Structure formats: C-alpha cells, structure tokens
C-alpha cells in the first residue's frame, strides 16, 4: 500500500510543472472520486462533494457530511491547507535575448530557490497562455528545450573556484538555440524565440498572431524517480509543496466516506513562496469568502426544505453562525519539513532532529512562524497515538532563521485554531528535492485520520475557553 501510494505521488508530480498544472491534476483526482465543480447558482447539499478554483492556480474542495448541522456543536469545520507553487525561473514578458550567437530566454527568479542547482540541467517549460480573445490554455513542453551551462573551470577566477559565485541577472539566462539572424517573426510576436512560439502554438492549436500573453515556468525535464540502492528515496522537483497538496486532497477523498457529521475542506493556495499577498494567495479573502458561501448555501438549502415558500427566518444570522463554527473548528497547515542532513547535522537543534521514516513532523516556532501550540500539539499527538502513527517535533535553533507557512496567515485571518505539520525532506527549494518514499504515505494517512477523528477528540477535551 505504501509503495503503491508513492507511485501515484510520482505520477502526480510528473504531470505537473506549474501551479496551473498542479490544480489541473488535483481536479482530475477529485473528479475521479465524485467531486464536481460548484457552479454559481448550484445548491449545496448535505453529502455533496464539490470544488472551487481561483485563477486556476488555487483550489478548494469540500465534502458536506450527511449529518452536518450548523447549530449542532458536534458539527465542526476541519480544514487542511497547502500551496501549489514552488520556486522556479519564470519567463519574462519580453523574453527573447541574443548574445554572442546564442538565443536565450530572459527569466526572473520566483521565490527563494537554490539557484545554482538550476545550472547544467535540461529544462522544460509549463504554464498558461492567453489568446487575444482572453481564452486560456495550459501548455507543457516536457522535453529539455533550454539549459544554463556553467562556466568552464579554466575560465574561472580563483575566487570563483573556491566558492560558486554567480549573478542572478546575468548568469541564470538559459540558452534555447543558436541565433537565427533571419528570425524577426518571433521578435514581433510576444518577443519569444520563433522555435518556442511555434511549438507552443502547435501544442494549443492557436495561430501565433492570436497569442496575447503567457505565464511560463521553467522546470527540470527529468521525471521524478526513486533513487538509492533500495529505491527507497524520491528524487523530484516540487516536493515542496506538492507533497502537501497530494496528501491533503487524497486524504480528503478517503476521509469523506467515513465522516458524516463534519464539513471537510482542503485548500491549496498559490504564491506562498513569495509571501501569499495576491488575490489567489493565503492573504486574500478566498478561504473566508468560500467558507461563508458554503455555510450560507447550506443554510439556504435547509430553509428551502423546512420553511414555507416566501417566509424568511429572521432568527438566522450568517455572520454569527460563522463566528460560532470557527471557534469550534480547526485549520491544519501542511507543508514540507526539514529532515536532519547527515552532512550538516549541526544545523538542527539537538533535541529537534526529524529523520526519514520516523513519523510526521509537528512544527513549532514560539515567534509564530508556525502556529502549533501546546494544545494543538496534544491534539495531534493524541490522534496519532490512537492510530499508531509516529510523530516528531521540529524547532529551529536560536541562531537559525525560520521559514514560515500559510498557517499564521490563515489563523490571523479567520481567528481559527491552527497547527503546522509536514513530512521530512532534504534539499528544500533545490531544483530537485529528496525524501523517503514512505513519509508521503504516513503524512496522508495522518491527515486522513485527522479528518475522521478530530471532532471527537475536541469534544472530549476540556479547554480553558
């Protein structure tokens, strides 16, 4: 079962390449399990399974329990969150540049990538193209269409040889072809190299003159794969945070058949790697407005079934109901976590050293880069212990900076109890990252039982509220 699940995860990774493709693949999984897109005028029904997208780079899916009741304190909203984006090189709007007989793509860095890992790799491309009529198309060219060659050691200075030094503006521009001095066609249309423009047009069946704009991400062209003498590690781009996306949404699907009293939700935002401040990022009102839409839809559905036509229930207050149900609900932020590195063990705090195949990681930061507190940590460990799932704690050293997640953003926006978890990995933000194959199954398994049992654990607790 564990290997079968990681095989599916690798297939998911290989079909992505941009936030848009991450959402597209997630939709395919959801549709295969009976979820349907929520249309603007569609009635939300108990037992229903739906999804919503925003910009096709952010997605929210939910299952309404058959016994879910807004006014019943035993009914709760259980939400998991992840993000669809990863650090990458993105193609600039004016992207054609010719130097010394080479045609290059002009690119910008997106997020905090380990950019030297992008050198000497065959790079493909994935993203979205928009035509003059504002029709959008997904585009993915997986074969290596460009590369960023290193400077030969014989041409480097002694300083450059002792520590790899590069200029992100000058040295990260990939070579795509030998310059065609007769190519004025590409320069006039979108300022893309003609060969790339032609291939994009063939893929989406649109004439070059009808293309208006694009959002294209470079990606490693080599498939995700197992490595190690026992094929026990996953070597792949975008583990951060497609590991979270895949685990959350597949757990939602599995748990939706077992939990009938709660509203189960999973959301994956765009732009986490650059601060989440966008209309499709975690700082937006997308999650709050979606929650209000769902709860109002359920309330209207209930009224339609119980109230005579034309009558209004004046005792209902949707904002009040929203506040009440948020107080008894939870958000679980799921993002990848830093495994102990055998070559750099001193970089971890000595008592908080997560390791592969040793359980999910519960993340803590007293300065609120992560949201787990003593209460939510106890909730998580109680659920894990009930199902014999191992847990590990992660906390950075006082001398180390700490990354953050969407957890603090959602917690402050919704006023909802929140915790941060993840799975161990190495080389976070490298072009290719590294993790143990069973850790992705353990993460998904925990999220599944969290969906299924958190409300029971919460109801049995006595909190100082």
Q: pLDDT digits over 196-248, tens only?
A: 999 999 999 999 999 999 999 999 999 999 999 999 999 999 999 999 999 99
240-257 average pLDDT score: 97
Contacts of 147 (CB under 8 A, 6+ apart): 120, 121, 122, 123, 174, 175
249-265 average pLDDT score: 94
Tell me if 214 sits within 8 A of 188, measured CB to CB: no
303-312 average pLDDT score: 48
273-299 average pLDDT score: 95
Q: How is the chain split into domains, by residue range?
A: 2-86+237-459, 88-220
pLDDT interval class at 314 (50, 70, 90): very low
DSSP classification of residue 115: G
Give the span between the Cα atoms of 151 and 290, in whole angstroms.
Answer: 50
The distance of Cα 68 from the centroid of its chain, to the nearest Å, equals: 28
Provide the whole-model pTM. Answer: 0.95
Compute the mean pLDDT over every residue in the chain, rounded to the nearest whole number. Answer: 93
Residue 147, token pair as written in the block: 């590369």
Q: Is the pLDDT of residue 358 over 50?
A: yes
Q: Is residue 144 within a helix (H) or strand (E), and if so which, with residue range?
A: strand 136-146
> What's the CATH number for 88-220?
2.30.250.10
Q: Residue 231: which of 424, 389, 438 has the closest Cα?
A: 438
Residue 264, token pair as written in the block: 């189960």
φ, ψ of residue 345 to 5 degrees: the values are -65, -25
DSSP classification of residue 110: E
Tell me if 145 sits within 8 A of 196, measured CB to CB: yes
Dihedral (CA of 386, 356, 78, 68) sign:
negative
Give the span between the Cα atoms of 369 and 364, in whole angstroms.
Answer: 8
CATH 3.40.630.10 fits 2-86+237-459, yes or no: yes
pLDDT interval class at 441 (50, 70, 90): very high
């Amino acid at each position: 079962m564990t290997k079968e699940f990681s095989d599916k995860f690798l297939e998911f990774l290989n079909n992505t390449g941009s936030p848009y493709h991450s959402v597209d693949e997630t939709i395919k999984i959801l549709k295969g399990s009976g979820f349907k897109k929520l249309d603007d005028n569609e009635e939300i029904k108990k037992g229903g399974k739906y999804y919503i997208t925003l910009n096709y780079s952010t997605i929210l899916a939910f299952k309404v329990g058959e016994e879910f009741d807004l006014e019943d304190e035993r009914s709760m909203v259980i939400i998991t969150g992840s993000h669809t984006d990863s650090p990458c090189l993105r193609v600039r709007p004016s992207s054609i540049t010719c130097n010394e007989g080479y045609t290059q793509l002009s690119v910008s860095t997106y997020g905090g990538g380990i950019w030297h890992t992008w050198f000497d790799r065959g790079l493909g491309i994935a993203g979205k193209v928009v035509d003059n009529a504002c029709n959008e198309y997904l585009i993915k060219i997986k074969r290596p269409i460009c590369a960023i060659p290193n400077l030969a050691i014989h041409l480097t200075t002694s300083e450059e040889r002792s520590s790899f030094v590069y200029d992100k503006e000058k040295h990260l521009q990939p070579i795509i072809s030998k310059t065609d001095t007769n190519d004025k066609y590409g320069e006039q249309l979108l300022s893309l190299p003609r060969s790339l423009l032609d291939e994009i047009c063939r893929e989406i069946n649109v004439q070059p003159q009808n293309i208006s704009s694009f959002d294209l991400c470079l990606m490693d062209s080599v498939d995700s794969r197992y490595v190690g003498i026992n094929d026990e590690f996953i070597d792949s781009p975008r583990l951060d945070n497609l590991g979270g996306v895949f685990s959350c949404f597949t757990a939602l699907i599995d748990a939706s058949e077992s939990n009938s009293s709660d509203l189960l939700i999973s959301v994956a935002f765009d732009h986490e790697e650059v601060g989440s401040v966008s209309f499709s990022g975690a700082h937006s009102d997308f999650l709050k407005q979606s929650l209000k839409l769902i709860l109002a839809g359920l309330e209207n559905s209930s009224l339609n079934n119980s109230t005579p036509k034309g009558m209004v229930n004046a005792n209902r207050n949707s904002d009040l109901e929203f506040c009440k149900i948020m107080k008894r609900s939870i958000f679980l932020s799921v993002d990848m976590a830093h495994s102990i590195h055998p070559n750099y063990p001193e970089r971890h705090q000595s008592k908080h050293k997560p390791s592969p195949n040793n359980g999910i990681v519960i993340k803590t930061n007293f300065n609120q880069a992560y949201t787990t507190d003593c209460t939510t940590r106890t909730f998580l460990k109680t659920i894990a212990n009930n199902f014999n799932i191992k847990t590990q704690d992660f906390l950075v050293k006082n001398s180390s900076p700490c990354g953050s997640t969407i957890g603090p953003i959602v917690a402050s926006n919704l006023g909802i109890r929140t915790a941060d978890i993840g799975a161990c990995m190495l080389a976070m933000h490298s072009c290719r990252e590294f993790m143990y194959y069973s850790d992705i199954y353990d993460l998904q398994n925990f999220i599944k039982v969290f969906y299924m049992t958190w409300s029971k654990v919460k109801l049995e607790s006595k909190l100082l509220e």
